[in-house]
A and B are shown apart, each in its own frame.
Chain A
Amino acid sequence: MRAPAIVLLSCSSLGAALAAQPAVPPPDSCVTCHTAVDDATKGPAALIKNDVHIARGLSCADCHGGDRTSDDPDVSMSKAKGFKGKPARTEIPKFCANCHSNPDTMRKFAPRQRVDQYELYQTSVHGKRLAAGDTNVATCIDCHSVHDIRPVKDALSPVHPLHVAETCSRCHSDRQKMAPYRIPTNQFQQYLTSVHWTAMTKRGDLSAPSCASCHGNHGAKPPQVESVAEVCGTCHVLFAQLYDKSVHKAVFSGAGGGGGCMVCHSNHGVQYPSTKMLAGSASVCAGCHEAGSSPANTATQMANWIDGLDGAIQQSETVLARAEKFGMEVSEAQVRLIDARENLVKSRLALHSMRSDDVRQPIDAGMAIAKETLQAGQAALREKDFRRYGLAVSVILIAIAILAIRSLIRRIEANGAQAAQERTL
């Protein structure tokens, strides 16, 4: 009981000292000795220079207890000074929570940081199993690393958005590790093929989801069947709203339903959707709806409309690009096509209500724009032709003019040749 209190005291007193005097922190005997000593502690002592805690002026002693100012191991590592040594694996979360769940402590260093991570962890699958004595599950240090803990925003941190999936996969793609729990291990591989991963890595969109975005990080647990749509809906709001009002919700989000959005879109390896999901040999709808049934027909109709609009837009784009290659100015029509694409997006959104009337509206609007831009492109091509005919006419007229001048010269020089030539300087 005293040890944590002393640790807490030294943390807060150090914090106060730091707050009062942001100068060079007192020499850290822990690091000095342990970098010299040739044992297992040499590694951590070397890693420590990258650690965010050390950067904020804390020391080994602030976590492990002891006295950083003394060079005498008996003092610096004495139990009287609160030395705890290396914590047992099952004690690790509590160890970190000493500071990280204390609002007063965290306010000194990072006032906006949350202090409920430990609480959340205890509700997670990892936390519950650890409490039951299973040391194979993840603890704080397995994700955040230890001794060289970097802030989440640091690109080298294992919990930086770009690295989260990789960090989770360290255990969750390990078949041997997952075997006792009977958890599949293909999630990471699937995720790497997904649009979300592409968004993060190719488009640099760090807001794209990875494991923690849907599963939670500290309170990690797979979303239940009835809440998958809610989870996807935190970003894909309108899709979720339409789905909620559709006939599919009761079916997919009920017991044994397959898990909301996941049924059609998969969970980890979410692919870029296309009308092939609606109709054709790879149709997802065909999994439940017989060919020829009303829902299947609706799906086919929606697919045809959407493909039609996509094709119309592409046709416009081709014609406009051709006109542009000829040097015609078509930027306005090209910008207008963006509106058509927006309508295409809206139509793909609308189909999630599973009602064709909802899809009809954006399709019609988009087709109108596509027609308009196609006409603009064709007009541009006609204008290009007009210019070339005009050029041909001008060149012919110029040629005539040149001939006219030539004949005039001939006439002048035939008559007055004598007078014109042979003039000396």
Chain B
Amino acid sequence: MQESNSKQGGGQDRRTAISWMLGGGVAASLVSFGYPVARFVNPPQVAEASVNEVIAGKVQDLKPNSGKIVKFGNKPALLVRVNDTEWKAFSAVCTHLNCTVQYSEARREIWCACHNGTYDLDGRVSSGPPPKPLDELAVKIRGDEVVISRRA
């Protein structure tokens, strides 16, 4: 009787140990599900998903009759200050072979250096190989900031 008791007692200890381990395993598995969920709901540093709007700079930074390239999402955009009050913005991806266009102050038009394509200030092709006009973007002045956004 002693023997079976001690065997039972030893068995009991082993079973308890295993129970704890298994219980621990279950708990750990639940943590392994909960941890990703917890990290997921925490918003990442860069909070914005897609770009609909970009602050291109300050009004006073761009002189009349000049242009600059601005990053809009993952594509370049061309901001042109036509005169004191008129601003224009376009996708800067040339419709010929995707080079980045630039503003030509001398000719007051948009020019692509790759194959000499030119666009007017409405984005329409004036000369050269580009087959399609440039996509126009909307420009708003908020206070002293110039904001480029997608057109409605």
Contacts and interface: CB of A to CB of B under 8 A. Distances in A.
Interface residues of A, number: 25
Given A236-B115, A238-B113, A404-B22, A397 B100 contact: no
B128 interface: yes
A235 B22 contact: no
B107 to A, nearest CB: 12
A394 interface: yes
Contact of B29 (A236, A238, A335, A398): A398
A397 B35 CA distance: 14
B5 to A, nearest CB: 19
Nearest to B111: A237
A164 to B, nearest CB: 16
Contact of B32 (A207, A342, A397, A408): A397
A397 B129 contact: no
B19 interface: yes
B78 to A, nearest CB: 15
Contact of A397 (B29, B98, B115, B128): B29
Contacts of A208: 129
B141 interface: no
A234 B74 contact: no
Chain B, interface size: which category?
20 to 34
Contacts of A397: 25, 28-29, 32
B29 to A, nearest CB: 4
A245 B145 CA distance: 40
Nearest to A233: B116
Q: What is the interface of chain A mostly: helix, strand, loop, or mixed?
A: helix
A393 interface: yes
A234 B116 contact: yes
B116 A401 contact: no
Given A236-B115, A236-B116, A393-B32, A401 B25 contact: yes
Contacts of B116: 234-237
A388 to B, nearest CB: 14
A155 interface: no
Interface string A398-415: 101101110110000000
A332 interface: yes
Nearest to B76: A339
A403 B25 contact: yes
B51 interface: no
Contact of B22 (A205, A237, A393, A407): A407
A408 B100 CA distance: 67
B128 A401 contact: no
B127 to A, nearest CB: 10
B90 to A, nearest CB: 18
B22 A207 contact: no
Interface string A338-379: 100010010000000000000000000000000000000000
Nearest to A399: B25
10 nearest A-B residue pairs (beta carbon): A400-B25, A404-B22, A207-B129, A397-B29, A401-B29, A335-B74, A401-B26, A237-B116, A235-B115, A394-B32
Interface of A: 205, 207-208, 234-238, 332, 335-336, 338, 342, 345, 393-394, 397-398, 400-401, 403-405, 407-408
Given A235-B128, A404-B26, 19 more contacts: A235-B115, A235-B129, A237-B113, A238-B113, A336-B74, A394-B32, A394-B33, A397-B29, A400-B21, A400-B25, A400-B26, A400-B28, A400-B29, A401-B22, A401-B25, A401-B26, A401-B29, A404-B23, A407-B18
